[in-house]
Amino acid sequence: MKIKYQLIVALHVLAIVICSAMAALCTISELWFTMAIIILADILFAMNLYRVQRQQWEAMHSVILALKNRETSLHISSKYSDTTLEMLNKELQECIKNINEQHRSDAILQSYYAQLLDKADIAVLVCNNEWQIEWCNQAATKLLGSRATLQQEIIEQINSPIITINRHGQIRRLNVSKTQFNSGNSAITMISLKEIGSLLDMNEFESWQKLTRVLTHEIMNSLTPIISISDTLLTGEVDADMTKQAISTINRRGQGLLNFVENYRKLTKIPTPVLGEVSAAELISDINHLFNLPYIEYDVHPEEHKLHIDRTLIEQVLINLIKNAIEACSETENPKIKVKIHKIPNSHTRISISDNGPGILPEVQDRIFVPFFTTKESGSGIGLSLCKQIILLHNGQIGVTSSTDEETHGTKFTITL
């Protein structure tokens, strides 16, 4: 059974008071030896009281250290029974219970947010003061690759809202957002990167599909006047010249509308790609047989490279682009066209078709993938739009670079799958 702490303190204080009084009496009676013994006892009582008190302080100090080190199994222990300590122990257990519950709740939230960020299509990174990556999600790994430090070209542009990076030889535009906050004694920066190109491509694709449906509906409605003219010819009294002129107008207008609707139908009825393994070398060989022109150069690396594509749709894209390149070089003195299929890191494939034609004007480059935009007198303006939609359906990207400079003129279409 433990002795009560309050009793121990009271007894020590009483003993010190009694010893002090006895020492005073001994001094009056000049009993010096007895006085020395009593003073020694008084000192011992005081030292023991200090030791008892220090034990209580150490018990409290151990609790503070344990809380500081985030230990959650705590109990204030003492050699003596102390009502105050018992109350503190009870409150401490309540506090520990709340801390444990909060830790569990925080762990669940942390796991939830980590999984949520990991599944997001926006690249998210957390960096320290030295731009070392402390955490990143799957989208960041896919965009930047596995790395311990943020790449220098991003660091140099980190304060710009839009940056450009060179990823495996391809220029990508990224929207950047960063937030800084303090974590202990260090500053942490959370960075989010969103590729602008792919987002705009998909939005553009969806927008054009909606527009196409609306225009198709409107065009079909425009056939109503033609039907009205036909009814007039069938039921009205008209002479031969008027009949011939009306029929000619109906035929011309009907044929124009038919071609227009057919072009729109092609844009909205692209079949879902049926993906399969295709040899890059065989694909190039078949394309070569279709054109068989001496100034077209083909290159596949590695030769055994396999593509996971819809062969028919990708062949259509390559044929369209090569035809455009041939037309672009039609007035070039020494035409040269290069068709390359190369494997790049992360199991991606890059296909490029380049020519040394006169090039495309900058103001035209921004519009060449827009449906029905064309610079050719007899062009329909749907070829490149079809190419872009097919590549988007393969979860790929297509872009163009061109120069109209006299020395470096030419155009290059690049497809990344």
Q: What is the pLDDT along the chain (417 residues), one digit of tens a residue?
A: 455 667 777 787 888 888 888 888 888 887 888 888 888 888 888 888 887 777 777 767 776 776 666 665 655 555 555 566 667 667 766 776 777 777 777 778 777 777 777 777 788 888 888 888 888 888 888 878 887 888 888 888 888 777 778 776 677 778 888 888 776 667 788 888 887 665 556 556 655 665 565 556 556 655 666 666 676 667 666 666 667 766 776 776 667 666 666 666 665 667 778 889 989 888 888 888 888 788 889 998 888 889 998 888 888 889 889 988 888 888 888 899 999 999 887 768 899 999 998 888 877 777 777 766 666 656 666 778 888 888 888 888 888 888 888 777 889 999 988
Give the total number of structural domains in the chain: 4
Instruction: Give the domain-ending residue among 211, 245, 268.
Output: 268
Which residues is 190 bridged to in the sheet? 126, 179
Residue 397, domain extent: 276-416
Instruction: Give the domain-ending residue among 252, 268, 284.
Output: 268
Residue position matching structure tokens 């031969």: 240
> Which residues are CB-neighbours of 185 under 8 A, at least 6 positions away?
none
In-domain check, residue 37? yes
Residues 292 and 378 both lie in one domain: yes
The 10s digit of each residue's pLDDT in 35-61 is 888 888 888 888 888 877 777 777 677
How many CB atoms are closer than 10 A to CB 292?
8
Amino acid 94: pLDDT: 73
Nearest partner of 414 among 308, 342, 315, judged by Cα: 342
> Which residues are CB-neighbours of 395 under 8 A, at least 6 positions away?
417
In-domain check, residue 107? no
Residues 375 and 288 both lie in one domain: yes
Report d(CA 31, CA 49) in Å as an integer. 27
Residue ranges in 222-279 assigned as alpha helix (H): 223-235, 240-268
Residues 159 and 232 both lie in one domain: no
Amino acid 1: pLDDT: 47
**Contact yes or no for 178/191 (Cβ under 8 A):** yes
Torsion angle of C-alpha atoms 407, 411, 416, 417, degrees rounded to 10: -140
In-domain check, residue 110? no
Residues 78 and 207 both lie in one domain: no
List the CATH number of the domain containing 388: 3.30.565.10
**Contact yes or no for 287/318 (Cβ under 8 A):** yes
Instruction: Give the domain-ending residue among 268, 285, 320.
Output: 268
Nearest partner of 353 among 409, 401, 396, 403, judged by Cα: 401
- The beta-carbon contacts of 359-364 under 8 Å, at least 24 apart in sequence, are 359/402, 359/403, 359/404, 359/405, 359/409, 359/410, 359/411, 360/400, 360/402, 360/404, 360/411, 361/404
List the CATH number of the domain containing 169: 3.30.450.20
Residues 133 and 253 both lie in one domain: no
Report d(CA 302, CA 280) in Å as an integer. 9
Residues 144 and 48 both lie in one domain: no
Report d(CA 17, CA 220) in Å as an integer. 114
